[in-house]
Amino acid sequence: MKLDKICLFTLACAMTVACADLNYTEENTRDEDWSYEYYGEGIKNMVFDVYAQVYNQEFESNSTSFLAGATDEAVYALETGAINSYTNGGWSPANPFGTTWDKAYTAISEIHMYLEKIHKADLSEWEHNSEYKNWIQQMELFPYELRFLRAYFYFELFKTYGDVPLVTTTLTNAQANNVTRTPAAEIVKFIVDEIDEIAPHLPISYATEVGAEFGRANRVAAYALKARTLLYAASPLHNPTNDKAKWDEAAKACAYIIDNAGSWGLKLSKYADLWGENAFFNSELIWGIGRGPSNTFEMAHYPIGVENGSSGNCPSQTLINNYEYQDNGQTFAERYPGSIDLNTVNPYEGLDPRFALTVVKNGDEWPTNGSQKKVMETFLGGFNAAPKYGATPTGYYLRKYVDGAAVTTADNQVTRRHTWIVFRLGEIYLDYAEAVYNATGSANDKTYGLSANDAVNVLRTRGDINMPKFTEDGVEWVERYERERLVELAFENHRFWDVRRWKKGPQYFKSVEVANISSNLQLTRSTVQRQWDDKYYLYPIPQTEVKKNPALGQNPGW
C-alpha cells in the first residue's frame, strides 16, 4: 500500500476520536472567539468532533454495540456479557443500553452550533499562510458534511426509537426539556429532503479533494443513507399497510446507486477483502469507520486456549443451518437435520464459501499468525472447548472481522488496522432486491432494470463465491432472501435491525440453536431459549430523558 493511503487511514481514524471542546466556559483552554479564528485546532476540530460521535465501539471488548450476540447469529460466550441484557430481559427505560440517544443529540447540537456560528469564522490573519486557500476550500464542504451527519444521526434515532424530536436549531435547556416527538414519517422526509439538497454539493470521492482525506462524508454515502432510510420506512414496522409507493421510493433510491456505481468507482470485492488491514480502501466500501492498529477485537474473539482469547460472540448453529451447499442450494439444516458423526462425514464440505470466511470450526487452523496458530478443538474436553470456562457455547468461533494475523501473546504483540463497515455496495444490491420484490410483487419483474433475483445473483455469482442462482418467487423467495441477507451481512450489525423492521422477532429471536460436539465427535444440537417481547421492536426512551421532559412519553410496552 502506498504511504499516502496509510497516512489517510490514520487521519480517518483520528476523525473518529478527535474531541473539540465545545463548552465555552472560563475554565476551558480556549474560548468561542479563539475557536473560530483558528482552522486546524479550532474550526476543523469542531467538525471532527461530530464525526467522532459516529464511532460506536463495535470493536471494543464485550461491547453492546457489536449486536450479533443479541440475534440468532451468535451466542456470547460468557453469561455475564453485557450483550445478554438484550436477550434476558435485563434492559429497561432505566437501563436502556445503547448510546444512540446521547450520541446522536450531542452530535446534532454540535452541528447546529457550527452551522449557526460559522459566519463568525475569521481567518483573515492567516491569508498569507501557504495552506490558507486549502482551508477555505475545505470549509466550503463542512456545512454539507455536517448536514449529512445530522441526517445520519436522525436515521439512527429513527431506526432505534421510531418517533423522536426533530430539532434543527440550537435550543436552550428549557426549550430542550419541552420538545415533543415528531412522527417517524416526518423524520424520514427530513432525511430524504436533506440528502437530495446536499448530495450534489458533496464530492464523489475525496481522492482529488484538498488533503485527500478519505473517511469524510461523500456523495455516495449520502445516497446510501437515503436508500437505507427509505428501505426501513417501507418495512412492516413503519409501513403496516404495506404502501407500495414506499417500496417504490426505496427501489428507485437503490437503483440510482447501482446504476452509477461504475462511474463512481464502486465495484464488488472478494468477500474476504471486506475486512482486514486494507479494508478501508476496499472498492466495495461506500463509507466505513477506520480504526488504528489494535488487537482488542482479537483478544475479545480469539478462542479460549489461544493466549488472551476470550471467545466473544460465537456463531450459532442457527447461522450455520442457513448456509447453502454449492451443488444444489440445499441448506445445511436440510441436508443434515439430525445428529452428525464427524468421524465419517464432513458436513462443511461444499458449503457456501462465505461460511469458511465467517466461521471457525473444529479442526480449522486458527489464528493464522505463526506464533499462535493451532488446530481448533471445539469438542467436549478439547483444547478450545468446555469444560474450560468461557469456551464457545455453540461449537464455533468467529472469523469474520477478526484479523488472524494479530498476535495477542503477553510479549511480542502484533496489532492490525480495522474498518467497521457502515455502507457497502453488497448491501445496496440486497436492499434493492427487497424493495423491488415488495414494490412489484415478483422476484422476476424487471420494471426497475434488474429484477430482485438478478440483484441477489450478482452477489452469489462473484468469483470467490459462485453459488447457485436464485430462481424462486413468492413466499419461497422471501424465505430464501432473508436467509441470503443473514449470510451475506453476517456480523455487520444488520440482523438485529432487519428482524425488527420485518416484525419477525418471535420467528427468529426466541430461540437459538447451538452445536454440541462430544469427545468422540458426534455433533448434536440443542436450543438456547431467549426472551422476546414485541416492545423490543423499538428501544425504550431513556428514563433520564423522560424525567427531564415528560412530554417525550415512552415507547409502547416500556
Look up the CATH number of the domain holding residue 454: 1.25.40
CATH of the domain at 140: 1.25.40.890
Residues 190 and 196: their CA atoms lie apart, in Å, by 10
**Pair (136, 118) in one structural domain:** yes
Give a yes or no: residue 135 inside a domain: yes
Residues 263 and 27: their CA atoms lie apart, in Å, by 51
pLDDT in tens, 89-105: 899 999 988 789 999 99
**Pair (156, 18) in one structural domain:** yes
Grade residue 380 by pLDDT with cuts at 50, 70 and 90.
Answer: very high
- pLDDT of 29: 44
Residue 24 pLDDT > 70 = no
- pLDDT of 35: 64
Give a yes or no: residue 524 inside a domain: yes
pLDDT in tens, 190-214: 999 999 999 999 999 988 777 778 8
Q: For 265-280, what is the mean pLDDT?
A: 96
Residues 429 and 15: their CA atoms lie apart, in Å, by 29
pLDDT in tens, 384-427: 999 999 999 999 999 999 999 999 999 999 999 999 999 999 99
Residue 49 pLDDT > 80 = yes
Grade residue 533 by pLDDT with cuts at 50, 70 and 90.
Answer: very high
Give a yes or no: residue 499 inside a domain: no
- pLDDT of 526: 98
Residue where one domain finishes, among candidates 217, 247, 278: 217
Give a yes or no: residue 270 inside a domain: yes
Q: What is the largest CA-CA distance in the chain?
A: 78
**Which residues touch 75 (CB under 8 Å, ≥6 apart)?**
69, 313, 314, 316, 393, 394, 512, 514, 528
The domain tally of the chain equals: 3
Residue 266 pLDDT > 90 = yes
Residues 357 and 271: their CA atoms lie apart, in Å, by 8
Residue 28 pLDDT > 70 = no
**Pair (45, 73) in one structural domain:** no
**Pair (312, 383) in one structural domain:** yes
Give a yes or no: residue 407 inside a domain: yes
**Pair (304, 409) in one structural domain:** yes
Q: What angle do CA 346, 426, 162 make, to 5 degrees?
A: 110
Residue where one domain finishes, among candidates 217, 241, 266: 217
**Pair (184, 120) in one structural domain:** yes
Residue 110 pLDDT > 60 = yes
- pLDDT of 130: 74
- pLDDT of 8: 39
Averaged pLDDT of the chain? 91
Grade residue 123 by pLDDT with cuts at 50, 70 and 90.
Answer: low
**Pair (159, 28) in one structural domain:** yes
Q: For 539-555, what is the mean pLDDT?
A: 96
Give a yes or no: residue 498 inside a domain: no
**Pair (393, 359) in one structural domain:** yes
Other Cβ atoms within 10 Å of 116 Cβ, number: 11
**Pair (408, 554) in one structural domain:** yes
Grade residue 20 by pLDDT with cuts at 50, 70 and 90.
Answer: very low
**Under 8 Å between Cβ of 521 and 341:** yes
**Pair (38, 68) in one structural domain:** no
Residue 285 pLDDT > 70 = yes
Residue 342 pLDDT > 50 = yes
Q: Whole domain around residue 251: which residue ranges?
A: 218-290+422-476
- pLDDT of 34: 54
Residue 340 pLDDT > 60 = yes
Residue where one domain finishes, among candidates 217, 237, 255: 217
**Which residues touch 233 (CB under 8 Å, ≥6 apart)?**
184, 185, 188, 239, 246, 249, 250
Give a yes or no: residue 495 inside a domain: no
Grade residue 26 by pLDDT with cuts at 50, 70 and 90.
Answer: very low
* pLDDT, greater one: 35 or 465: 465
- pLDDT of 531: 96
**Pair (334, 445) in one structural domain:** no
Residue 45 pLDDT > 90 = no
**Pair (230, 344) in one structural domain:** no
Global pTM value? 0.93
Give a yes or no: residue 488 inside a domain: no
